[in-house]
Structure 1
Amino acid sequence: MDSSPDMGLFGPDSVTWKVHNEPIVTMGGLRSLYLQALHPRAVAAVAQNSDYRADPWGRLNRTSEYVGTVLYGSTTEVEAAASRVRRVHSRMSATDPRTGESFRVDEPDLLRWVHVAEVESFLTTARRAGLRLTDEEVDGYYTEQLRAAELVGLDPSTVPGTAAEVAAYYERMRPELGITREAAETALFLTVPPVPEVWNSRAIRLSLTLGPARWAYFGIAGTAIALLPAWARKMYGGLGWPTTDLSADLSVRGLRLLMAAILATLPRQYRVTPMRRAALERAGAAAG
């Protein structure tokens, strides 16, 4: 009987752990939301079923917990989290803003778009921030993430599993994408989110609303948008110039260095998320 610790879907030797060891991938999450919003049905599903406007930080926390569980949880934890997500999605429907047609939130086409936009954003952000990966590692990341796609109910054989397949998928999807009212409202909300209620001190809220913290967030949101593919930036009314890509690369690399410098000043227990720390401890036990 195998008594070795359960490392879940991935593990310390995976490309997935290498990519997500980079704190800058959190910006990839923001980039992916801007990208996902360009799919009229995907953004309608969120806008019509989610409380993200009333509780954006709570939704962000729940999403982060799910992603963290998929990355670092045991098999039992991952399956339980995925089961909850599938159960919730199975009860949801929305209305297409263009046709008036009702559709299920867990349609494969929508799940596939959200998955690809998310994993491509994580990977692209990490690489453009300076993480060195070989072409084989890039394809390995996409192939590993097919396990995450299967968790939400997708057939892995229908999901892009290499860089070339992701590029071809985006090319096929572009005619279906565009700006709807819900997409524009979502993008604005992402760019100018409300101050968390937990920071209810008047001085703190005023500082975060008008002060340096707000301008710092504008810089982060602007970088996330600049990291989008040129065709996606154009849909938002931005520029597709190569100089924008260069500026985005410089900005995200600078942010990566800044985050590393800040984390280096913190006590060791705060440099790694609890989920990753628990997974590392399991991996250490396995190695021992």
Structure 2
Amino acid sequence: MTSEMLGPDSVTWRFFGGWRGMLMGLWSGSMQNMHPKLAAGVWDHSDFFGERWERLMRSLYPISGVVFDLDPATGRQVRDYHLTIKGTMADGGRYHALDPDVFYWAHATFWYGNIRCAEAFGPPITEADKRALFEESRTWYSMYGVSMRPCPDTYEEFLEYWDHMCRRVLRDHDAVRTVLDITQLPPPPWMKPWMPQWLWRRQVAVVQHVFRWITTGLYDEPVREMMGLTWTASDERRFRLFGRLVDLSQRLTPSRYRRHPRARDAFDRVSGRVAADAPLLETPARNLPSGAERENPIHYCPVHTARRARLPWQSNVVND
């Protein structure tokens, strides 16, 4: 594994880890689960569908940390969360989460999601930025300590790979449809103290419609066709307008608070605002599973003592 690390001067640090990436949540989750072997692993092993908000908010920390921690140990930790995820598919084929082709597909959705996000919601991204993100994605992937065999050698080869996956490999699956349906979810954990259940139920159908529409706009056309989704010229115009409004809102937000806590913590470390040797910032305790499951690494549970994130809109706590 290479000793090279991405740092604050990288293009990846500039584009990855921002809150506008939350608009990519259904896209990322559904695209990953369209890989037949990855879908089988999630369906058979993950409790994602029983605690979707918590799992999302929990896994963002180590996944971001692979890029932002300046420590290759985080990548190996994320890799090892997947060691026991294996089994047999409905067609008799075998799957394992660390199958190089499966693991790389998940990584592809993360790094290429930076390009999709910037194209849709800003900030402006150049062709040079896209190529730099690809080159840096190889360094990022090397942090996991897994086979580099699936990694394309050039950006052009990656685009061919992505198109091939969308047209020839990806499939619809119950796991995909479940990701796309948020109507049965409870409020996110940080909302529960003040969001009445009846009010959440009234608005969640609207939230579902908006996020399904956003996700449809982010899909490649072959994926829309596979999923039976329509996208009109009018949809495209409204999608572009929505993206410009998102970009404007982010530009009006103080730069430090445009970033996810783990990414923000990384910039704080390199600037001296936080001690470089301070414990890593992890998800708030409300996002951890209960009981013995809290020690089960399959759930993206950190096993070390850590600082707990406190988010800027929570008036009852003080920010780290």
1:218: Cα distance to partner? 3.3
Q: Which amino acid aligns with 2:110?
A: E
- 8 A contact 1:69–1:81 mirrored in 2: yes
TM-superposed CA distance for 1:273, in Å, is: 4.0
Kindly indicate whether the alpha-carbon contact (under 8 Å) linking 1:16 and 1:144 is maintained by their aligned counterparts in 2.
Answer: yes
What amino acid does structure 2 have at the position aligned with 1:249? R
- Residue of structure 2 aligned with 1:181, choices 160, 174, 184: 174
- Structure 2 distance, partners of 1:181, 1:277, is 35
Q: Deviations over 1:226-256 (max 9, x none)?
A: 1111111111111255554443322222233
Q: 201, 206, 211: which is aligned to 1:209?
A: 201
Aligned to 1:284: 271
2:34–2:171: 8 Å Cα contact kept in structure 1?
Answer: yes
Residue deviations 1:145-202, cap 9 Å, x none? 112222334433531364422220023222122213333333325x763323564469
d(CA) in 2 for partners of 1:233, 1:260 = 31
Deviations 1:45-102 (A, max 9, x none): 1111111111112210222101221232132xxx3322222223121113323x1223
Deviation at residue 272 of structure 1 after TM alignment: 4.4
Aligned match for 1:227, one of 211, 218, 226: 218
Q: Does 1:165 align with 2:157?
A: yes
Aligned identity (percent) is 22
Q: Tell me, yes or no, if the aligned pair for 2:65 and 2:263 is still in contact at 8 Å.
A: no
Partner of 1:256 in structure 2?
247
Residues 1:24 and 2:20 are matched in the alignment: yes
Correspondence 1:38 to 2:17? no
| CA RMSD, 1 decimal | 2.9
2:286 alignment partner in structure 1: none
Distance change >3 Å, CA 203–CA 108, structure 1 → 2: closer
Higher helix share: 1
- Separation in 1 of the partners of 2:261 and 2:122? 25
5+ long unaligned stretches in structure 1: 1-7
8 A Cα contact 1:37 1:43, kept in partner: yes
Query: Relative to 1, partners in 2 of residues 1:193 and 1:255: Cα closer, same or farther, differing over 3 Å?
Result: farther
CA positional deviation for 1:108: 0.7
Deviations 1:245-270 (A, max 9, x none): 44332222223333444x35xxx875
- Tell me how far 1:124 sits from its aligned partner: 1.2
TM-score by length of 2: 0.73
Amino acid at match of 1:233: R
